[in-house]
Chains A and B, each alone.
Chain A
């Protein structure tokens, strides 16, 4: 059923695309494209990309160690790692050497607040709120001239904030509240009889209406990003937000839905970019990982290291990059050990993608939390 709201949204989106002033500037002098997907809420890297030969995972996670059987078997990537079955598209790209993984990655942050950790992920600093601008903004002066990077969201994320010009673009409608927000609202109303009843009725009605990922959802926004980046004179950098990864309870079902959505976003980017996919690097990064052990509500709690997913024609694909710390020793006896610096991955990725001197990127962009840029992530 196409309702009035989604029709308005479609109209708004098309109109906005044509009219947005920031998106029609002089042609870019680089063909390289970067899509950065911020996975907000802490993606469980161990469930997305699982180590194949770690008996301790089964010990600590029990039933959560493997995806639910009805989704199918884990998809082998290498001899040592499998992908979650909801990442079938990504696994296909991996086999075609158009996707890669860097595992056991963490930012310098070692505590467990989403807000603080996301701020560090986005600013590239070593303490929350220490830097006012995003690392991607600090990268811009090093790049050849191009139309300003675009955030496919209503507001500009910290990642893009700073002195260099940037823009944001989003359809001019109210997006449906995210699944994560709705779940938290439900919990928030548990102690309030009136609101609890009203919310229950609202959710029941919505479920009957079959409201899924509509316009304004992350997949639609990925399609928008691809359309913008595919234009020869369009921007070269796009930032997408994807929330809902904070799987404290009922992780098996929710994480599968999240991963499937991310998988569809990546596939949407590939098809929307067309030939430009060959020039593209997609980086999917999260603020931190999750506990190795399952908690009391069939979920996992805030952890430390997670995985970074890379995709696109420019990826040195078909590999799980970096070292693997194993699960024998855990960080603070609970989390995957951080063995690779997130900033090293980011610096290495963008230096490789845009043909920049890696040391210069580290010095100019990640000066307060420097880490030697990781080599070999990107094809020249």
Chain B
């Protein structure tokens, strides 16, 4: 297996027939971070998190108005219509909401795909997808239905080659994560707002939500088994007041534009907290920031991230020595990510075991379309439903843990059959080409004699291309 093929497939998104193979693959990989565009035009043209937050707020208002979804009306909300009229209104609104969700989501997925297909920095794009999954949200909540794109585009992309602490902070402050893990309404029991609510005997007492704090510790930083319930409680208290503009509880809330991070002093739990053995006495917003900064540089976080990176790029069971080296590199560089990527691609293990990873549906789809020289989903192939069918709806893993990074999750009978179907479809939609020449170009030094023969003996060029896309060496990297 050639070094170029490993660089293109293991670290990239697969070869394109219209691009030349890199002469110095390692240098090519590292140089990508200067070429990488955090905010390309196709993303800048899409509605951002602020727009999606405003949409969410409008949706909530609608739901309250018609009194469905268990959302109680608030003082000042207009009187709901009654009877058949109410039913018709509710149905019309729900239909419009669904269509708006679908259109926004499809636009975001298309943009992600277009970037991946055309990218000259595929290693950097892979890291975007990796971190997006590490900090997974899922679009199956009303609040996050259209937040998958903004989360990845605004919180992940700008920080993939910076410090992990900046990435962690950007994600934690983003409305996607705030909404997904119920942080935006988390109020300290000893906060000013809670005290006022108690005095007024308000029907709904505000309270603490530990969801985000727990997942930061378990999924984003230290990892499962390396934190205690006391750590969760401490971080959750420190995070109270971290919220998003557009959902103000008056009279004590500060106003801010929809979607924008805001710290609400009146919601914050006063006092010191202890997390991972360290006590934090800071006031206000600075308290959770200090905890996040320390968590980012915790040796256990270094191990957790090193394990996940090595598992994603090298092997489902990452070599322990490699994990150790990556973690040490991370700590020695103060949590800077670029040196870790450098250590990853200079590791002998990275270039040793061939085809150890089974591509997940997204990586497979992107590499298949790149191999066919496509820049967009061809013909009437709609990409979001296609990935749904292949078993990996984008930004919808259903859990904050994200998609598993193991062959055992993706290599299954029905999933394989779906790939064969999609391969046949994509190959029939792609511009005609000679699959014999294409195979040698997109799998340089990897193409087995068995696959080359099968392609050459296919009964049509389209069938030959489909066979290339589902060949054992194309399904893996």
Contact = CB atoms under 8 A, between A and B. Distances in A.
Most chain A CB inside 10 Å of its own CB: which residue of B389, B454, B458, B471 = B458
A244 B459 contact: yes
Interface string A169-188: 01010111110111011011
A114 B450 contact: no
A178 B432 CA distance: 18
A41 B407 CA distance: 34
Contacts of A154: 379-380, 425, 428-429
A41 B378 CA distance: 25
Interface in B409-444: 411-414, 416-417, 420-425, 428-430, 432, 434-436
A245 interface: yes
A182 B462 CA distance: 13
A176 B412 contact: no
B451 interface: yes
Contact of A174 (B389, B435, B464): B389
Nearest to A156: B432
B417 A177 contact: yes
Nearest to B414: A202
Contact of A175 (B407, B421, B470, B471): B421
Interface in A188-207: 188-189, 191-192, 194-195, 198-199, 201-202, 205-206
B425 A174 contact: yes
Nearest to A161: B432
B280 to A, nearest CB: 49
Contacts of B253: none
B413 A177 contact: no
B424 A177 contact: yes
B143 interface: no
A32 interface: no
A184 B416 contact: no
A246 B460 CA distance: 10
Contacts of A243: 459-460, 463
B25 interface: no
Given A153-B428, A175-B425, A202 B463 contact: no
A175 B424 CA distance: 8
B421 A246 contact: no
A280 B118 CA distance: 46
Interface string A326-350: 0000000000000000000000000
A115 B389 CA distance: 30
A42 B459 contact: yes
Interface string A40-75: 111000000000000000000000000000000000
Interface string B440-470: 0000000000110010111111111011001
Contacts of B411: 194-195, 198
Contacts of A195: 411, 416, 472, 475
Contact of A189 (B412, B429, B472): B472
Contact of B434 (A115, A188, A199): A115
Nearest to A246: B459
Interface string A150-161: 000111001000
Most chain B CB inside 10 Å of its own CB: which residue of A172, A175, A181 = A181
A201 to B, nearest CB: 4
Contacts of B407: 194
A118 interface: yes
Contacts of A194: 407, 411
Most chain B CB inside 10 Å of its own CB: which residue of A42, A170, A178, A206 = A178
Contacts of B471: 188
Contacts of B463: 40, 178, 180-181, 184, 243
Nearest to B386: A174
Contacts of B467: 181, 184-185, 188
A185 B435 CA distance: 15
Contacts of B425: 154, 174-175
A198 B413 contact: yes
A113 B430 CA distance: 21
A300 to B, nearest CB: 13
Interface string A106-145: 0000000111001000000000000000000000000000
B420 A177 contact: yes
Contacts of A153: 428
Contacts of B460: 40-41, 114-115, 118, 243
Most chain A CB inside 10 Å of its own CB: which residue of B428, B467, B475 = B428
Contacts of B414: 202, 205
Contacts of A188: 450-451, 454, 467, 470-472
A343 B285 CA distance: 81
A199 B470 CA distance: 11
Most chain B CB inside 10 Å of its own CB: which residue of A41, A154, A180 = A154
A179 to B, nearest CB: 11
B422 A185 contact: no
A244 B463 CA distance: 10
Given A189-B472, A198-B412, A199-B413, A176 B421 contact: yes
Contacts of A172: 380
B472 A185 contact: no
Contacts of A178: 424, 463
The 8 closest A-B pairs by CB, nearest first: A41-B459, A202-B413, A201-B413, A246-B459, A202-B417, A192-B472, A40-B460, A172-B380
23 contacts: A40-B460, A41-B459, A113-B456, A155-B378, A155-B430, A174-B386, A174-B421, A175-B421, A177-B424, A177-B466, A181-B420, A182-B420, A184-B457, A184-B458, A187-B454, A188-B450, A188-B472, A198-B413, A199-B413, A201-B413, A202-B416, A205-B414, A246-B457
Interface of A: 40-42, 113-115, 118, 153-155, 158, 170, 172, 174-178, 180-182, 184-185, 187-189, 191-192, 194-195, 198-199, 201-202, 205-206, 243-246
Given A115-B461, A184-B457, 6 more contacts: A115-B460, A175-B424, A194-B411, A199-B416, A202-B417, A243-B463
